Structure 1
Amino acid sequence: MQYSIGVEYALHCLVYLIDIPEDSSTGIKELSSFQGISDTYLSKIFTKLSKAGIVSSVPGVKGGYRLAKSPDEISFWDVIKAVEGPKPIFQCKNIKDNGYLYKENCCSAPSSCTINIVMLAAEEKMRDFLRSKTLAWLNEELDVVLPKQMREETRKYFSKSDI
């Protein structure tokens, strides 16, 4: 199981949007430059985040993006679902139906796949955990684990109005 790097870029960029003034926005060029990635790639991620209602776009020359909700209302799972889509990680192919006993009509009782049930239950537990972690939590955690100067420089970078 692996989520794309787009999820990581999305979470990083979203946490940068927390501290910008409410009447302001941050452009894709600023965010992509700070991350060292192409603005085309990041724009595709932000299109998905916008469709999911996580960010809202601000049109115009000084336009960009801002959070569409409070950081405590945006969970890691919301971001993952927006970037990766909602389908389950485990895709049951009902391979039991191709087994010897089914082919020989020895066993025809339909049954739920126990493997699928277990995998889906495990995914639900993971989603519950990811739902419990929000952008507000991440922002507070970064204040603890990152050097204060790094956090201040990051905030300063995104508070510039003429980047």
Structure 2
Amino acid sequence: MQYSVGVEYALHCLVYLIDVPSKESVGIKDLAEFQGLSETFLSKVFGKLSKAGIVSSVPGVKGGYKLAKSPEDVSFWDVVEAVEGHKPIFQCKNIKDNGYLYREGCCSAPSFCTINLVMLSAEEKMRDDLRSKTLSWLNEELNRVLPKQIREETRKYFS
């Protein structure tokens, strides 16, 4: 299982928006330049975040994006789901029903697939863990693990 790099860029950029005053926004150009990636790519990511209600766009020359929700109310899972969509990671194809015994009519297939149940359970545990981590948590964690100067310079860049 692998998430696209869009999830990583989204989480990084959303942290940068936390300290932006509520009446201001950050332009996609500044966010893309800071990350060293194309505006087009980041615009697509932010379009998905906007559609999910995580960010809101501010039109105009000084426009850009700002958080539409409190950082406490945006989980990692919210971001993953916004960027990646809603499809399950494991998609059971019921291959058990094609097994020799079922094809020959010796046995009837059970109504569930044990492998699918295990995979769905594991996926739910991962989602629960990602739901427990919010942008607020990430911001606090970055304050703890990164040098103070890096955090200050990042905030200055976007102010």
Determine if the TM-score, normalized by the shorter chain, exceeds 0.5.
yes
What letter is aligned with 2:113? C
What letter is aligned with 1:132? S
- Tell me the residue number matched to 2:100: 100
Q: Give the paired residue count.
A: 159
What letter is aligned with 1:147? P
Gaps of 5+ in 2: none
Question: Which whole-Å CA distance do the structure 1 matches of 2:137 and 2:72 have between them?
Answer: 7
- Tell me the residue number matched to 1:60: 60
How far 1:86 moved relative to its partner?
Answer: 1.0
Question: Which whole-Å CA distance do the structure 1 matches of 2:9 and 2:73 have between them?
Answer: 19
How far 1:48 moved relative to its partner?
Answer: 0.2
Note the alpha carbon deviations across 1:95-122, whole angstroms, 9 max, x for none: 0011101111111244200000010011
Note the alpha carbon deviations across 1:136-157, whole angstroms, 9 max, x for none: 0000000000000000000000
- Tell me the residue number matched to 1:116: 116
What letter is aligned with 1:95? I
After TM superposition, what 4+ stretches of structure 1 lie above 3 angstroms from structure 2? none
Question: Which whole-Å CA distance do the structure 1 matches of 2:106 and 2:45 have between them?
Answer: 50
Task: Tell me whether 1:135 sits opposite 2:135 in the alignment.
Answer: yes
How far 1:94 moved relative to its partner?
Answer: 0.4
CA change 1:109–1:94 in 2 (3 A) is closer
How far 1:11 moved relative to its partner?
Answer: 0.1
Question: Which whole-Å CA distance do the structure 2 matches of 1:38 and 1:135 have between them?
Answer: 24
2:28–2:43 Cα contact (<8 Å) kept: yes
Question: Which whole-Å CA distance do the structure 1 matches of 2:77 and 2:100 have between them?
Answer: 40
Question: Which whole-Å CA distance do the structure 1 matches of 2:57 and 2:107 have between them?
Answer: 57
User: Alpha carbon RMSD of aligned pairs, Å?
Assistant: 0.6
What letter is aligned with 2:131? R
2:102–2:109 Cα contact (<8 Å) kept: no
Note the alpha carbon deviations across 1:56-87, whole angstroms, 9 max, x for none: 00000100000000000000000000000011
**Equivalent residues in 2 for 1:1-163 (5 A)?**
1-159=1-159
Gaps of 5+ in 1: none
- TM-score, with structure 1 as normaliser: 0.96
Note the alpha carbon deviations across 1:9-63, whole angstroms, 9 max, x for none: 0000000000011100001000000000000000000000000000000000100
